[in-house]
Amino acid sequence: MPSYKVPEKSAFDSEGAQPASKSEAARFNAFTLKKLQAAIKKDPEINLAEQFPMGYQERLMAKKTEIERPPKKSKAQLEAEEDIRLSLRPSDPAEIVFPLSDAVANLLAPSQTAGSANGLSQRLIEILASSEIIWKAPFAGQKSVFKCSADIVIKAIRNMEDYTEYTALQYLERHTSNIPVPRPLGLVRMGRYSLLFMSYMQSVPLGDVWQTLDSCQKSSLSKQLNSILEDLRTLPYTEGTPLGGVGGEGCKDLRRHVRVSETTITSLEEFETFMYSSPHPGGGVFVKFLRRLSPSTNGHSGPRIVFTHGDIRPDNIMVELVDNNYMVSGILDWEYSGFYPDYIESVRCTNCLSPYEEDDWFLYLPECVSPDIYAQWWLLDRVRETRVV
Domain ranges (residues) in the chain? 1-71, 75-199, 204-387
Q: What is the separation of C-alpha 68 from the centre of its chain, rounded to a whole number of angstroms?
A: 26
Predicted pLDDT of residue 382: 85
More confident residue, 17 or 149: 149
**What is the rounded CA–CA span in Å between residue 219 and residue 30?**
62
pLDDT band at 125 (very low <50, low <70, confident <90, very high): very high
Which DSSP category does 244 fall into?
B
Predicted pLDDT of residue 9: 45
Q: What is the DSSP string of 357-372?
A: ---GGGGS--GGG-TT
pLDDT band at 8 (very low <50, low <70, confident <90, very high): very low
**What is the rounded CA–CA span in Å between residue 314 and residue 210?**
8
More confident residue, 115 or 238: 238
Q: What is the mean pLDDT of the chain?
A: 85
351 SS3 class: coil
**What is the rounded CA–CA span in Å between residue 29 and residue 64?**
11
- The radius of gyration of the chain's CA atoms, rounded to the nearest angstrom, is 29
Domain 75-199 sits in CATH at 3.30.200.20
Q: Report the relative pairing of strands 184-190 and 193-199 from DSSP bridges.
A: antiparallel
Q: Residue 286 forms beta bridges with which residues? A: none
**In this predicted model, what pLDDT tens digit does every residue of 98-118 receive, in sequence order?**
999 999 999 998 654 444 557
Q: Which of 233-237, 291-295, 377-381 is most confident?
A: 233-237
pLDDT at 201 over 70: yes
**What is the rounded CA–CA span in Å between residue 164 and residue 320?**
27
Contacts of 135 (CB under 8 A, 6+ apart): 144, 145
Instruction: Determine the Cα angle at 177 with ends 188 and 265, to 5°.
Output: 65
pLDDT at 179 over 50: yes
pLDDT at 1 over 60: no
Domain 204-387 sits in CATH at 3.90.1200
Amino acid identity for residue 236 in this structure: P
Range with the poorest average pLDDT among 43-52, 324-333, 340-349: 43-52
The answer to whether 164 touches 337, Cβ cutoff 8 Å, is yes
pLDDT band at 297 (very low <50, low <70, confident <90, very high): low
pLDDT band at 3 (very low <50, low <70, confident <90, very high): very low
**In this predicted model, what pLDDT tens digit does every residue of 271-281 receive, in sequence order?**
988 988 876 65
Q: What is the DSSP string of 67-125?
A: PPPPPPPPHHHHHHHH-GGGG--TTS-EEEEEPPPHHHHHHH---TTTTSTTHHHHHHH
Instruction: Determine the Cα angle at 32 with ends 29 and 37, to 5°.
Output: 125
Predicted pLDDT of residue 15: 42
What is the average pLDDT across 91-100? Answer: 94
Beta strands in the chain (DSSP E): 94-98, 132-136, 143-147, 152-158, 184-190, 193-199, 204-205, 252-253, 259-260, 305-308, 317-322, 325-331, 338-341
